[in-house]
Structure 1
């Protein structure tokens, strides 16, 4: 009898251990299951090319000013190409039309990508400025090279209509831009306070027409 009872007791102990072991399986599986870590891609901050870094650091400027300089150089190239086509090489229609289209397309690409990232707060103003400059270049090309109005001895005054129309377009475009986006203040970061004065770092601001750099202003901090 003692042997039977011990066997029965041992049997039920094993059954109990098996049942309890099933309950512990999820925790064991959790411990054994390797943790999968998601690799979050690091977003690289845009930087100025190394060959130009010292140039911008000496002027207390950064990547936004570098992007704006590229946009200004492209706009200047667009105007120079338009002037050369109008005044010097009017017969090279295919070459200069392709060049003007390429410069315009790259300007729009730069505006939609880098300018948008560099000047988030005032991006609509920078976008409008680029569109305005591209439009001015093309208006001059169309007016001076492809205008249906030609000089005539019988009506010499008609020859002044295209250039006056082009100049009027430029004046109206800049006036509308100033009325819509112009302001008499800008934003900056206080770098240092010297008594009643503060050293403020200001980025390029097309709306207030302020250049980037360090400015000493009156401090209202107590």
Structure 2
């Protein structure tokens, strides 16, 4: 029998996709890793709490019932809450509104965290790495747009010829953010010939980032 919460999670995406507003693929396009994550989340909540968690942030409410706070903090965890809330955000085009929704989601978690004791040895479901999440291809395209061609060439020189990165390029990388930077490095590390080269490139990438933030 299909879990009703899992249906809720994927139906939200299906409704948005049918209107042409969804971010990322339809539920049929979810990776196995992401479906596994959704299934783990769905087993840790009730339909009532799922609707309360999602509806609250979209109706400008950050206060959850004691029962749902307990389920959220003691079982679900922040990644499941994020997945629940952000599946609706494909239909929200205004950046300011999206930022408010993210803020309300975080505030709801903090309020529940203060009122409910955190469980010892908690084992929350974790979001898969970015390449397994919905909208990954769009994410990569947006990352590529943030990196100038000039800075991209300088990054190659820094990685393969040990040429120090200029401050202007550092500013570009910091503006991209750590997630985009990590994805760019993953692409570069694909050319590594062996495990030793892969480890060396990873170290160089970390060194470049530290250089830029200091």
TM range (shorter): under 0.3
Pick the structure with more helix per residue.
2
- Higher RCO, Cα 8 Å, sep 6+: 2
Pick the structure with more strand per residue.
1
Which structure has the greater CA radius of gyration? 1
TM-score, reference length from structure 2: 0.24
